[in-house]
Amino acid sequence: MGGIVGRFLNSFGLTMAFAILVSMFVAFTLTPMLASRWLSIDRTARHTSKESRAFHALEAGYARILAWSMAHRWVIVAASVVSLLSVVPLFWLVGKDFLPKNDEAQFEVGFRAPEGTTVEQTELIGTRIGREVRRLPGVLYTITLVGNDDRRTANLGAVFVKLAPVEARRESQFALMERVRRDVLPTFEPEHLRTSVSQVAAISGGGLMNKEVAFFVSGPDLERLAEYSRRLTAALERTPGAVDVDTTLVLGKPELAVQLDRAKAAELGVQVADAADTLGVMVGGRQVSTYNERGEQYEVHARAAGRARTDPAALRQLVVRSSRLGAVTLEHVAHFEETQGPSQVDRLGRRRVVTVTANIRPGHSQQEALDALEKEIRAIRPDPAYRWGTVGTSQEMGTTSDRSSWPTPSGASRRCSGS
């Protein structure tokens, strides 16, 4: 078996095999020798342990059960077959999770502020959330982290919550997590935050804010992926036990679209590459030199000042080289439009991907949510160009089910990734 579960079970299997071999060696060698040395027969004793009342009652009861079983052999055989076959439907009915839910006296409150929020504003929001969480009984302290992801996202934050030991508080970790969802986070609705309350991940979930459920859809068209994710999100919100439902598709990031008027540019002698290069240097910046100090080399980048690269009026006044007039401002050869777009476009195997995520309340299982997502994606019936499947702990749980269990009643794979 591969994956994380395979690594766990591989060492566990080797340990059990070695322990059984050692136990067998001791049973055939050391135990008989010690019995011959330490045990002796007291021939003067009147009664033995086998003649005690407790042993006699046990022996008589076992004899009656054995006699009845031998007289009704086919009943015993039928009961054994039914017990064996009942494992299959019971496996379908029982809830399944990749890891058990334990009270670890800690959890995380993740939040994402609206696009365009600065690091300082995000830190202030995280500080306010931490202050409200510390008012709950049993909370020792909180730690606020901002931009703690690979992209150093300015509007992404998390509040780590440390609780008192289990024996020193009345409420469980999961009860406090539910109170944060119910009492604390609704007070921040005017901030338009996207929030989640999750356990601290024992195994990394691929940067998905420690979510227990992660289901992706990939394909070429971002708008269609957004529509699929909305339907999957709605299906997940209808699933009992699913909370903190969200997607990795984040729209609403302010953008300034620059559309070059090729006819005017040709008339004024402006090359498309020159206009693009001017915007790239002034807005994005370019390395112009290096700086050495104490044996370390640092890159020196040049770009326009803050307001000159964020103000649409200032960008319109950027000067572009012209072969006919020498130089013209960008507003004479381009149209500017303020729009909104995705803050990031994730990819999986060079394909655009949107991931639907959620957490699960105690008393419910990950499999219920995955079944609901699988049912909805098959009802959507995406085009052949689109694929879907699970990632993170959901994928590991699917790997375990595929390799160590029976197929589901519908015959669908738990790790479906195809059209």
> Beta 156-163 vs 139-146: how paired, if at all?
antiparallel
As a residue count, the chain comes to 419
CA atoms within a 13 Å half-sphere pointing along the CA-CB vector of 158: 20
Q: Give CA–CA dist 390/214, Å, rounded.
A: 6
Mean pLDDT in residue range 244-253: 83
- CATH topology for 253-341? 3.30.2090
Angle, alpha carbons 134-139-145 (nearest 5°): 65
| pLDDT band, residue 200 (cuts 50/70/90) | confident
Mean pLDDT in residue range 296-316: 84
Q: Give CA–CA dist 106/299, Å, rounded.
A: 41
Phi, psi of 40 (to 5 degrees): -140, 160
Strands (E), 171-224: 194-199, 213-219
CA nearest neighbour of 283 among 247, 259, 256: 256
- Residue 419: per-residue pLDDT: 34
At 255 the three-state DSSP class reads: strand
Q: Is there a contact between 174 and 362 (Cβ–Cβ < 8 Å)?
A: yes
Q: Give CA–CA dist 322/184, Å, rounded.
A: 58
Q: Is there a contact between 93 and 127 (Cβ–Cβ < 8 Å)?
A: no
Angle, alpha carbons 319-325-331 (nearest 5°): 40
- Residue 208: per-residue pLDDT: 52
Question: In the chain, where are the structural domains located?
Answer: 106-246+346-404, 253-341
Would you say the CATH fold of 253-341 matches that of 106-246+346-404? no
Residue 418: is its pLDDT beyond 50?
Answer: no
Strands (E), 272-325: 286-293, 296-302, 319-322
Map tokens 């330490």 to a residue: 38
Please state, for a pLDDT cut of 70, what percent of the chain lies above it. Answer: 87
pLDDT one-digit tens code per residue, 366-382: 888 888 999 999 998 88
Map tokens 């609780």 to a residue: 163
Q: Give CA–CA dist 236/195, Å, rounded.
A: 16
- Residue 398: per-residue pLDDT: 63
Q: Is there a contact between 167 and 116 (Cβ–Cβ < 8 Å)?
A: no
Question: Which residues have a Cβ under 8 Å from the Cβ of 44 and sit 6 or more positions away?
Answer: none
| pLDDT band, residue 407 (cuts 50/70/90) | very low
Q: Give CA–CA dist 354/214, Å, rounded.
A: 10
CA nearest neighbour of 320 among 308, 330, 310: 330
Q: Is the dihedral of CA 118, 121, 124, 125 positive or negative?
A: negative
Phi, psi of 251 (to 5 degrees): -100, 170
For the domain bounded by 106-246+346-404, which CATH number is listed? 3.30.70.1440
Q: Which of 24-33, 66-75, 206-215, 272-281 has the lowest mean pLDDT?
A: 206-215
CA atoms within a 13 Å half-sphere pointing along the CA-CB vector of 116: 12
Angle, alpha carbons 363-366-371 (nearest 5°): 120
Amino acid code (one letter) for 38: W
Residue 415: is its pLDDT beyond 60?
Answer: no
Q: Give CA–CA dist 210/149, Å, rounded.
A: 12
